[in-house]
Amino acid sequence: MPREHLRIVVPAGGIGAARFLRGLLIAAPQAEVTVIGNTGDDITLFGLRVCPDLDTVMYTLGGGIHEEQGWGRRDETFVLRDELAAYGAGPAWFGLGDRDLATHVVRTQLLGAGYPLSAVTAALCRRWEPGVTLLPMSDERVETHVVIEDPSAAAGSGRRRAVHFQEYWVRLHAEPVAHSIVSVGAEDARPGPGVLEAIAAADLVVLPPSNPVVSIGTILSVPGIRAALESTPAPVVGVSPIVAGSPVRGMADKVLAAVGVETSAAAVALHYGPALLDGWLVDESDAAAVPVVEQAGIACRAVPLLMRDTAATATMARAALELAGRTGATA
Ligand code: GDP
Ligand code: CA
């Protein structure tokens, strides 16, 4: 029997996850949603700790997001950035707005006072009231690095260099070929407080349309999280971030290639695998993937998967809830 207050756990990256969560909260208004946020993209800039994925979820669900951009604050100004640039103080490639900076100042202050990231995130969420419990995947530092062809090396030298994920994405626009992805610190990290408990208590786990490598993959790289998701009796259903052979936005194709996975809705499902996934939604345009995914033992349906507006996104979330009910796993 479904519980009155369904407990849903959502491992989440940034923009794709945040938008999907908005639809999920409309589709399941009574649900208690716990988000396990990716912190592999976190970076220290100008002495300030920045957590892009946690903030995108918090701002999107709290009504402070820059809607068109998908990250950062609406009605933003850049006085501090311009003043720093006037001093020649770098890096200039990461644009932090004034409103956004207040979040990073408060976070850095609290971390400096000794609070763990989980407690700091909870404190920031008291202002934004995102309507979900937002848990960092870990309180320990895990940093996604991308091994690329060194752009400063002589052409054809083949020299490789590891760069922080933000440098690869924001400064280098994901242009250099990515050879591999490293989750630095992951093997020694522990899941954040409440993460394993939330998975154990979940009635349902939904993988939103997030980057399968540098968002969901990073969360799964924290020891214990994948095992907990694989062993939960609750159904685990995912929404493909790949539509018609391309990421809807972002660089998922580049990082999928780096881990040897084809950019297709079916290949991403098989990459997660049947031990993790009970169900998988693909876009209508990928209907041919349905038998391939089902052949692997994962229930699959083709439905419209473009988050054009909140109504379309809520319909997608409803399809995920329905699919979970059909998987045969116990909800
Ligand atoms: P990031 O950390 O900001 O890159 O955000 P995520 O990891 O949560 O999400 C990025 C993924 O969301 C990308 O791989 C996109 O392909 C996917 N995505 C974005 N918009 C949509 C959409 O409307 N539909 C689907 N199916 N996927 C989307
Ligand atoms: Ca991210």
Please name each of the domains of the chain with its CATH number.
3-40+194-327 (3.40.50.10680), 45-136 (1.10.8.240), 143-184 (no CATH)
Which residues are 161's β-sheet partners? 148
pLDDT of the residue at 193: 98
Query: What pLDDT score does 150 carry?
Result: 84
Q: How far apart are CA 60 and CA 72, in angstroms?
A: 9
- Distance from C-alpha of 276 to C-alpha of 248, rounded to nearest angstrom: 23
Which residues' Cβ are closer than 6 Å to ligand 1?
Answer: 13-17, 53, 56, 209-211, 215, 239-241, 243, 247-250, 252, 305-307
User: What pLDDT is stored for residue 174 in this prediction?
Assistant: 94
| pLDDT for the residue 202 | 98
Q: Is residue 197 helix, strand or coil?
A: helix
pLDDT at 1 (0 to 100): 45
Residue from 65, 165, 249 whose mutation best tests the ligand 1 pocket (most atoms within 8 A of CB): 249
19 Cα: distance to centroid of ligand 1 (angstroms): 9
Residue range 152-172: average pLDDT? Answer: 90
> How large is the average pLDDT for residues 14-42?
98
The residue whose C-alpha atom lies closest to atom 4 belonging to ligand 1 is 14
CA 42 to centroid of ligand 2, rounded, Å? 9
Q: What is the pLDDT of residues 259-291, one digit of tens each?
A: 999 999 999 999 999 999 999 999 999 999 999
Q: Mind giving me the DSSP string for 234-298?
A: S-EEEE-SEETTEESSSSHHHHHHHTT--SSHHHHHHHH-TTT-SEEEEEGGGTTHHHHHHHTT-
Going by CA atoms, what residue is nearest to atom 6 of ligand 1?
210
Tens of pLDDT, residue by residue over 88-114, are: 998 889 889 999 999 999 999 999 999
